[in-house]
Chain A
Amino acid sequence: MRLGAVLTAVFALAALISVVWVPHDTAVLTIADRTLGPSVAHPFGTDHFGRDMLSMLMAGARTSIAVALLAVGIGIVLGVPLGLAAAANRGGWLDEVIMRGNDLIFAFPSLVIAILITAVFGPSAVNAILAIGIFNIPVFARVARGGALPLWTLDYIMAARVAGKGPARISAEHILPNIANLLIVQATIQFSLGILAEAALSYVGLGAQPPTPSWGRMLADAQTMIHVAPQLAILPGVAIVLTVLGLNLLGDGLRDALDPRLRRVRG
């Protein structure tokens, strides 16, 4: 939990700082300084165009986190209400329509469709966000519905119905706060998957476009240099691994911390 929070915080901080400041401008190529080793001016060395690797990694973190965050946002904003509506209507036609729609999206291999979308509508960060985000919708809809269903049988929901509250209000006031922990945990998982998906899309050239730095494209660019300058591939690779690891640890920790039963055992 703590390690996860620290890793996540480090990369989030790097991404935030990169918005206002990076050690060296990533749009300026200094071919003479290419593939330098670590030094005071370039702590992580430079790439094959002479750009500062630290700056590239920081800016890349911004791209990865922004894409993954917005994609998770799409999933939550659209998926959670759908899942809550399905649970409120459990067994009815609306539930059926929503869940079969979910199955339809699940039936497609997500990365292939994401590649298709970006290929058709043109490669860009926005299209990558949309492509990844669409596949987050059914995930959140399922988690929300699954968490909400057992709650609907509880007496306090019955009491709220006796108090004249409709399904929408009950979902917002009683159901959503009680499944929030499930959703937060799922969000961290989807967030790490989003970073991987963005890296994969950028790797095949369908994500963020040059000159915007991205971990995935740094990997792709480093491919041809793998024998000459392996650090160019290793650094973004390690960044991806550490971020995903951090998010997963954070998610596990949050699940324990937010579950009152697990919390009581430890306290």
Chain B
Amino acid sequence: MIAVRDLSLSIHGQPLLRDVSFDLAPGRITGLVGESGSGKSMTALAMIGLLPVPLRAEGSIRLDDRDLLAMTEREWLGVRGRDIAMIFQEPMTALNPVQTIGAQVSETLRLNGTPRTEALRIARGGLDRVGLEHIALDRYPHQLSGGQRQRVCIALAIARRPRLLIADEPTTALDVTTQAQILDLLRDLVREDGMSLLLITHDLGVVAGMADDVAVMRQGRIVEQGATEPLFRARAHPYTRDLLSASQPPPRVPRAVADDLVLTARDVTRRYGALTAVDGVSLTLNRGESLGLVGESGCGKSTLTRALLGLEPVQGGTIDLLGRPGGLAMTRDDRARISVVFQDPYGSFDPRWTVARLVQEPFHLTGRPPDARDRAVRALEQVGLSADDLSKYPHEFSGGQRQRIAIARALITEPDVLVLDEAVSALDVRVRAQVLDLLDDLQARLGLSYLFISHDLTVVRAICDNVLVMQAGRIVERGPAARVFDAPEHDYTRVLIDAAPAIPPRWLEAG
């Protein structure tokens, strides 16, 4: 139905896409996987005629017997929405906040000349179809959850029964349980309508569970494509092999941890007015231990983290760090004993500061030691960077390197506890594997204790000795990582584990 041939694209002589070719058939799901910058999104934008203005693609994209690349913007208006539709990663910004969802879903139909009442009737039907029967048409986007908004986006995209739906990381911004529901919905829609789905994702687990065919992209090229299961089983191309092994970090071999408490929380409670964000949470962290804290957005894990770091007051319970009062009551010297690495490698640094100044910022707590610069160099070397990087600015580094700088900044005061708040969640799998190795190595060398906060169970399993599962402000399950993942006791833990997209283990068996 759709044939992409030799699609190429470049900017300032730098190729973004090189000879990309693939076919999409009705009723089939094609996964397009790759790391950031591999050209997946550019391919999608070229296919719907929305490339950023100066860019022009070469090659051909044929829909039946029309070449989409040769069409004018005016001709595109007849194709977009009707034949080809798209949904995006961020459901928060993909909807207009000042229009009701009914108006937005019916808008695309009214472009066709469908009368208003008829359009609204179809919009109602569309929302019912994506599982929003209980949501009225006159609701505004901000009144819906992230998953519901993504459902509205899907209803909007399929309102005119397009033959191709392009989904660009449709579930990356969502929690795992919501992700599983949205993926189920997309799969059902494809089967019912016989449309073709191009699913763009970085997550091999999602592809394994969804796609009939898969194309692996790297640096603007498709390095390998074919039916999903045989491709995963064969792992013919070295890059595919790399990606697969990086996305499946081996579970942590439990280490013997001495009984030497560094961080303790007892019955910590944090309320915001009537809302109890953290409800009687207790935890213990020993020297050299990695403790995972797992939960979905809004479960209170970030609030708990801020309380442990002494950035927020608590309404109940106590926090101890190294046997002394922790949380908001910490002395400046004690604050230097606990540090943090955040998720976003782009927002973690003041863009106007040099690396030297950035990594030395925590010296504010201890006073600047005479050997501050040497220690900055040592911290950078510990994370695999060098003294040459001191005079650079954050924008000169890749995402993975920035996370290394963030770790160097956290290590500069030689703390005992490192809080890793989704510290590897924004990284590509191969970079993530390297950073996980680095964290493991640092822990072994420096005897650090990690509090590892994440929504990603694979990562938690790879790095943590013990795990806490948090739901609605409470810890619902705790125990050694292997036990919690292999034999979960609480229903919610089971739901989380089942919802996490995974590659079937038998696909990965040797031979």
Contacts and interface: CB of A to CB of B under 8 A. Distances in A.
Task: Please indicate whether A and B come from the same complex rather than being unrelated chains.
Answer: yes
Interface of A: 154-156, 158-165, 169, 173-174, 177-178, 260
B350 A162 contact: no
Nearest to B311: A161
B415 to A, nearest CB: 10
B344 interface: yes
B339 A156 contact: no
B335, B339, B350, B406, most chain A CB atoms within 10 A: B350
7 contacts: A154-B347, A159-B342, A164-B332, A164-B362, A177-B352, A260-B351, A260-B395
Contacts, number: 51
Interface in B391-441: 395, 406, 409
Contact of A155 (B339, B344, B364): B344
B350 A156 contact: yes
A196 B336 CA distance: 54
Contacts of B507: none
A171 to B, nearest CB: 13
Interface of B: 309, 311, 332, 335-336, 339-340, 342-344, 347-352, 361-365, 395, 406, 409
Contacts of B347: 154-156
A177 B393 CA distance: 15
B350 A174 contact: yes
A89 to B, nearest CB: 16
A164 B343 contact: no
Contacts of A174: 350
A61 B350 CA distance: 40
A170 to B, nearest CB: 10
Contacts of A156: 347-350
A155 B343 CA distance: 8
A155 B348 CA distance: 5
Contacts of A160: 361
Give the 6 A-B residue pairs with the shortest CB-CB distance, closest first.
Answer: A155-B342, A164-B365, A155-B348, A163-B362, A155-B347, A154-B347
Nearest to B340: A162
B361 A163 contact: yes
A160 B340 CA distance: 11
A116 to B, nearest CB: 40
The winner among A154, A162, A177 for most chain B CB atoms within 10 A is A162
B361 A159 contact: yes
Contacts of B362: 162-164
Q: Which of A164, A165, A169, A178 has the most CB of B within 10 A?
A: A164
A259 to B, nearest CB: 12
B376 to A, nearest CB: 14
Contacts of B339: 162
Contacts of A158: 311, 340, 342
A178 B361 contact: no
A165 B350 CA distance: 14
**A156, A158, A174: residue with the most chain B Cβ atoms closer than 10 Å:** A156
A159 B348 contact: yes
Contacts of B350: 156, 173-174, 177-178
A161 B361 CA distance: 10
